[in-house]
A and B are shown apart, each in its own frame.
Chain A
């Protein structure tokens, strides 16, 4: 029964979305207050029905309703309840429903927190988001309906892919989608601005907190995905330049450029057209990411079953959204304000450089990701692009970013002088080089990567701290939220850099053959295998290896990696054993039993500073959230609200 309720809810949500995409827009064009007032109510209604549909699917999973095809394919009687709940977004149909639910959630938030933005503007924003909803709801209903039935239903389901039976899977997709979908808000603001013909500083000010929040969620989502791949896939890597990872990374790079260009446009009115373009690009890249993941055109760890028809739908939808936005942009570009001029050495130039490097990086990742498709399409053979391409290009493009980043916040708007910017940072630079050399001497690591990673890391963290101290001294009230956010995020880049450099420079990785009673030495640690035992879980059984790890004479850990066999589907899976630490992770993954001797192949890793990678990413994301919560955006909105109600009152009289 619940499946039918879900289906009806989805259809009702579609009806409301269709109304939302037309009525408030017409209202805004004709200055009809009644129609414009409908926008928030329609957005709320749409969210309610989306939540209803989502709850219906979750209920089908919890109740083991195997007559619903999607449930039968991705759940079974032995699956614990929490994985049955996360199985809702474990595959294509449900994950699109989650995508849609989150879009509805963002719309609800826009409706709730934009009371101070002029009504006409909110009406247009919600209306544009309504159009996006219509596209995605049609997509779900016609190509990916999670509520389809099979009658009679099977007695038991096929089970969720074991890789997805994991805590990382609970949070990774929702956070990632929050980011993806959040860029729809920035997109809608840009489109609303273009339609209204007022792409001005105010527009950017309203858009900034939303963009920052979406970008922060995307940061968390990507970091969580990286962490999940690290311990779940059993390869011990933290980033693979896999097409699907790239699909989430491209919008992040564009988003990073966007939050910086928004700062310029809001503060100085410079490059407004560019900011509009980036807003469109960030969401288009999110759609492209969805297309790449969902169409299965690329070989990837994420490419599960694929369906070209679905891919085609998203491709057409993307063409309509992006094409429509660009046409509108071309029509309205002459009406976009022109910014004030600035000097070579100025904050504007610094942020322009940021934008150049980040958009070129995004283009570079995009090129590498799509290159195999282009070559295949031209009939030149089937190729794939190796990770060294991405690695080399990224290091090349990000080195100047790391070197210049601490200078940015010290630079004045409009015009400045190099020496004035460099003077306070000279000490920071000297300290970071000395500190890096001391740390490297202490760790005994003199590889180029490690040394440059530490210097860059200290330079970034030091630069961020120097900025915070100076700003706090200069103003009585201390640092504002957006300044805290920036400091934290920029320091986070430094922490990340240290982690990435150390892992790349000094990871110890070895595949060994080991029998019970034997000891293997790896990077100063002694791994002893005591026995391999049989253990059982709710829907699997496993061989579990019992390891103890010694450093010197001291036992520092006991680790029990498993090789699991899942009952349904008969899939085997490696369950990695981890001993996490601030300065190093120990990591054991089981291979397979070798012959009758009881020996196993085992993969051992010692990964220095690997946690700093995700720690840095979390700092970056937190910085974004803190900046998004700055009172400045709300305060100025409140003042504007007064003016807006005044002008609205004028308009009605």
Chain B
């Protein structure tokens, strides 16, 4: 091998090594930061992981939103038409949070099947339904009318 070739080989080897290392780190970081999406039916069937951060999605059950007048605590129920999950949250809800609308909550599930949300997301268009929520509602046999344009 000529010296230039040797050098090129070294450069290529270094790059491959670096990219490999970066990929390994990336995959590890990905697995640490994966948030599983669960539906109320998953929670009921106890397939949802406990004490791990997850995303719960469904519709806000009509008439379920209760506010504590003296603090920022809110309680509501997320449903997919078959099963319900009680959710508690402290803070400010997004503008498009409404009863009967699709919602995604980030947080933890405790042993009693109660969901403690630290973030609640509703999307920015009144007719938009998060794709995961849409799928889980269809799976539960309740495709929502509001989500169709």
A binding-site residues for B, Cβ under 8 Å: 161, 163, 234, 296-299, 301, 303-306, 341, 344, 352, 356, 360, 364, 367-368, 371, 381-389, 392-393, 396-397, 511-513, 569-574, 589, 591-592, 594-597, 599, 601-603
Q: How far is the CB of B148 from chain A (nearest CB, A)?
A: 10
- 6 A-B contact pairs sorted by A residue (CB < 8 Å): A296-B131, A299-B130, A371-B30, A388-B29, A397-B22, A572-B95
Residue numbers in A under 8 Å from B125 (CB-CB): 161, 304-305
For chain B, the bracket of interface size reads 35 or more
| 8 Å CB interface, B13-33 against A | 15, 18-19, 22, 25-26, 29-30, 32-33
Is B29 a contact partner of A393 (Cβ separation < 8 A)? yes
Cα distance A266–B25 when bound, in Å?
34
Of the residues B25, B34, B67, B132, contact of A594 by C-beta under 8 Å: B67
Q: Which of B7, B67, B95, B131 contacts A573 (CB 8 A)?
A: B95
Residues on A with beta carbons closer than 8 Å to the beta carbon of B69? 594-597, 599
Q: Is B62 an interface residue (CB 8 A)?
A: no
CA distance A371 to B67 in the complex (A): 37
Q: What 0/1 pattern do residues 117 to 149 of B give for CB contact below 8 A with A?
A: 000000111111011100100000000000001
User: Hey, which chain A residues are within 8 Å of B95, CB to CB?
Assistant: 234, 571-574
Q: Quote the shortest CB–CB distance from A598 to chain B (angstroms).
A: 11
Is B92 a contact of A393 with CB atoms below 8 Å?
no
A301 vs B11: C-alpha distance when bound (angstroms): 42
Contact A356 B15 (CB under 8 A): yes
In the complex, what residues of B have CB within 8 A of residue A367's CB? 26, 30
Give the Cβ gap from B67 to chain A, nearest Cβ, in Å. Answer: 6
Contacting residue for A388 out of B33, B123, B132, CB 8 A: B33
Whether B35 lies near A386 (C-beta < 8 A) is: yes
**Chain B residue at minimum C-beta to C-beta distance from A359:** B19
Q: Which residues of the partner chain A approach B53 to less than 8 Å between Cβ atoms?
A: 386
**Separation in Å of the B24 CB from the closest CB of chain A?**
12
Known contacts A381-B37, A384-B55, A385-B35: does B18 contact A592 (CB below 8 Å)? no
| A163 nearest in chain B by CB position | B124
Nearest-neighbor residue (CB-CB) of A343 within chain B: B7
Residues of B within 8 A of A304 (CB): 124-125, 128
Known pairs A594-B67, A594-B69; list 15 more (Cβ under 8 Å).
Answer: A297-B131, A304-B124, A304-B128, A305-B127, A305-B128, A341-B4, A356-B15, A382-B135, A386-B35, A389-B32, A511-B72, A511-B91, A570-B126, A573-B95, A589-B92
Q: Is B111 an interface residue (CB 8 A)?
A: no
Tell me if B's interface is mostly helix, strand, loop or mixed: mixed
What's the minimum C-beta distance from B13 to chain A, rounded to whole angstroms?
13
When distances are taken between beta carbons in the complex, the residues of chain A under 8 Å from B149 are: 305
**A233 nearest in chain B by CB position:** B124
B9, CB-defined interface residue at 8 Å: no
By beta carbon, the residue of chain A nearest B106 is A386
Task: Determine whether B70 belongs to the interface, using a CB cutoff of 8 Å to chain A.
Answer: yes
Residues of chain B with a CB closer than 8 A to A572's CB: 95-96
Looking at the complex, which one of B30, B36, B131 makes contact with A299 (CB distance below 8 Å)? Answer: B131
CB contacts (< 8 Å) of A512 on chain B: these are: 72
Q: Give chain B residues whose Cβ lies under 8 Å from the Cβ of A163.
A: 124
Closest 7 CB pairs of A and B: A591-B92, A595-B69, A389-B33, A382-B37, A386-B33, A304-B125, A511-B91
- Give which listed residue, A344, A364, A383, contacts B37 with CB less than 8 A: A383
Instruction: Write the B29-48 contact mask toward A (1 if CB under 8 angstroms, else 0).
Output: 11011111100000000000
Q: How far is the CB of B65 from chain A (nearest CB, A)?
A: 11
- Within 8 Å by CB of A513, from B70, B130, B132, lies B70
Q: Are B29 and A389 in contact (CB under 8 A)?
A: yes
The winner among A297, A386, A569, A591 for most chain B CB atoms within 10 A is A386
Interface string of B68-89 (1 = CB under 8 A from A): 0111100000000000000000
A-binding residues in B (CB < 8 A):
4, 7, 11, 15, 18-19, 22, 25-26, 29-30, 32-37, 53, 55, 67, 69-72, 90-93, 95-96, 104, 123-128, 130-132, 135, 149
State in angstroms the CA–CA spacing of A305 and B123 once bound together. Answer: 11
Residues of A with C-beta under 8 A to B130:
299
Complex Cα distance A573/B104, Å? Answer: 19
Minimum C-beta distance from A144 to chain B (A): 14
Chain B contacts for A383, CB-based, 8 A: 34-37
Within the complex, what minimum Cβ distance (angstroms) separates A309 from chain B?
13
The smallest beta-carbon distance between A436 and chain B, in angstroms, is 28
**Given the interface contacts A356-B18, A383-B37, A511-B91, does A601 sit within 8 Å of B72 by beta carbon?**
yes
Bound Cα distance from A500 to B53, whole angstroms: 26
Q: How far is the CB of A509 from chain B (nearest CB, A)?
A: 10
A602 to chain B, nearest CB (A): 8
B124 adjacent to A161 (CB under 8 Å): yes
The reply to whether B131 and A360 form a contact with Cβ atoms under 8 Å apart is no
On chain B, the residues within 8 Å of A344 by CB distance are 7
> What B residues does A301 contact at CB under 8 A?
123-124
Bound form: Cα–Cα A356–B14 in Å: 11
Which chain A residues border B29 with CB–CB below 8 Å?
388-389, 392-393
Taking the closest CB of chain A, its distance from the CB of B120, in whole angstroms, is 12
Question: Which residues of the partner chain B approach A603 to less than 8 Å between Cβ atoms?
Answer: 92
A540 CB to nearest chain B CB (Å):
13
Asked if A393 and B25 make an inter-chain contact with CB atoms under 8 angstroms apart, the answer reads yes
Tell me, rounded to whole Å, the shortest Cβ–Cβ distance linking A573 to chain B.
5
State whether B30 touches A571 (Cβ < 8 A). no
Q: In the assembled complex, how far is the CB of residue B9 from the closest CB belonging to chain A, in whole angstroms?
A: 14
Measured between C-beta atoms, what is the minimum distance from B25 to chain A in Å?
7
Neighbour of A571 across the interface among B19, B93, B126, CB < 8 A? B126
Cβ–Cβ < 8 Å partners of B37 in chain A: 381-384
Query: Is A571 touching B72 in the complex (CB atoms < 8 A)?
Result: no
- Shortest CB–CB separation between residue A277 and chain B, in angstroms? 14
Residues of B near A306 (CB, < 8 A) are: 131
Collect the chain A residues with CB atoms within 8 Å of residue B92's CB. Answer: 511, 589, 591-592, 601-603
Alpha-carbon gap, A367 to B30, bound state (A): 9
Give chain B residues whose Cβ lies under 8 Å from the Cβ of A299. Answer: 104, 130-132
Within 8 Å CB of A371, what residues of B?
30, 34
CB-based nearest A residue for B70: A513
Say whether, besides A383-B36, A385-B35, A513-B70, A360 and B22 are in contact (CB < 8 Å): yes
Q: Considering only CB atoms, which chain B residue lies closest to A161 in the complex? A: B125
- The smallest C-beta distance from B76 to any residue of chain A, in angstroms, reads 13
**A368 and B30 contact, CB distance less than 8 A:** yes
Docked Cα-Cα span, A415 to B131, in Å, equals 55
